[in-house]
């Protein structure tokens, strides 16, 4: 992927027209028998998706839902493999914080997902707890965006 494309990276609300492109960039959606595809289509229909794109096409997406104790929750953050390391995840997380409709915004990741943990800490999210038993032998670490209202002002 041409690094010049990332200079023109933009983030916008996604919609139903983006679903197929998101399925293509998401390796789980391409291989899990349709479950993730169904989720992507629902997220796009529900207006829960933010998409990141370059002139070459979509390179990532982020889903924010409000079903976690009625607080904002980043359900999914996915960046296409060739686009990783170019600030796409950071831009999506900042956009999620800026658009969050609640005072608090949470997310979680497996304890084994070190790249996601580093990204969250780099953009100022704080670990707030851990849940065992979701994925056998790989606890889920929960994070809180420390200042969604500050992100809105940027």
How far apart (Å, rounded) are the C-alpha atoms in residues 53 and 10? 5
User: Among residues of the chain, what percentage have pLDDT more than 70?
Assistant: 92
pLDDT the model gives residue 33: 82
pLDDT the model gives residue 40: 97
User: Among residues of the chain, what percentage have pLDDT more than 90?
Assistant: 85
How far apart (Å, rounded) are the C-alpha atoms in residues 36 and 49? 14
Residue 32 confidence class, pLDDT cut points 50, 70, 90 = confident
Domain boundaries, the chain: 3-153
Beta strands in the chain (DSSP E): 10-13, 49-54, 57-68, 71-79, 105-110, 125-131, 140-145
Domain 3-153: CATH architecture, name and number where available:
3-Layer(aba) Sandwich (3.40)
pLDDT the model gives residue 1: 54
Instruction: State whether the Cα torsion 8-10-117-16 is positive or negative.
Output: negative
């Amino acid at each position: 992927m041409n690094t010049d494309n990332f200079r023109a990276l933009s983030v916008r609300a996604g919609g139903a027209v983006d679903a197929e492109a998101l399925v293509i960039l998401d390796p789980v959606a391409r291989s899990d028998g349709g479950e993730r595809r169904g989720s992507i289509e629902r997220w796009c229909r529900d207006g829960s998706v933010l998409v990141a794109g370059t002139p070459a096409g979509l390179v990532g997406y982020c889903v924010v839902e409000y079903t976690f104790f009625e607080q904002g929750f980043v359900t999914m953050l996915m960046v296409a493999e060739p686009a990783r390391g170019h600030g796409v995840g950071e831009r999506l997380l900042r956009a999620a914080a800026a658009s969050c409709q609640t005072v608090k915004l949470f997310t979680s990741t497996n304890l084994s997902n070190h790249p996601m943990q580093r990204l969250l800490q780099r953009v100022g999210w704080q670990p707030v707890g851990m849940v065992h038993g979701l994925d056998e032998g790989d606890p889920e670490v929960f994070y809180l965006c420390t200042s969604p209202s500050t992100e809105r002002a940027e």
